[in-house]
């Protein structure tokens, strides 16, 4: 039987190994540059990069509250985004969400 990570609707494993974070969720230099050009500010850039890497791995967009902190923190470090920047969307400035 396939593991839950390999099913039609994969979910995050309970524990993410450091190796998995590095191989699956580290943004490439061209992705970092694309995100920098495509966003205004660090919060949208963090959100874009996290969701990009998750979509590449899982092939769907999960609910934001289901994204493991380890993934967010790994992408944050790889993109050199400060710890004060929150992951998520500001519904006041993005009323379509």
Q: What is the pTM of this model?
A: 0.84
Is residue 73 included in any domain, yes or no?
yes
Is residue 64 included in any domain, yes or no?
yes
DSSP letters spanning the chain: ---GGGSSS----SS--HHHHHHHHPPPHHHHHHHHHH-SSHHHHHHHHHHHHHHHHHSSPPPGGGS-HHHHHHHHHHTT--TTSPSS--TTT-TT-
Could you tell me the residue range of the domain that residue 37 belongs to? 16-78
Is residue 57 included in any domain, yes or no?
yes
Q: How many domains does the chain have?
A: 1
Per-residue pLDDT of the chain (97 residues; tens, 9 = 90+): 456 556 667 788 888 899 999 999 999 999 999 999 999 999 999 999 999 999 999 999 999 999 999 999 999 999 999 999 999 876 666 555 5
Is residue 11 included in any domain, yes or no?
no
Burial class (CB in 10 A: 0-12, 13-18, 19+), 44: middle
Is residue 95 included in any domain, yes or no?
no
């Amino acid at each position: 039987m396939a593991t839950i990570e390999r099913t039609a609707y994969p979910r995050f494993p309970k524990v993410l190994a450091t190796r998995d974070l590095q191989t699956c969720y580290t943004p490439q230099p061209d992705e970092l540059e694309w995100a920098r050009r495509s966003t205004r500010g660090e919060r949208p850039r963090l959100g874009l990069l996290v969701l990009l890497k998750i979509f590449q791995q899982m092939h769907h967009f999960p609910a934001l509250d289901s994204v493991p902190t380890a993934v967010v923190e790994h992408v944050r470090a790889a993109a050199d985004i400060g710890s004060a920047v929150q992951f998520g969307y500001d519904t006041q400035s993005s009323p379509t969400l």
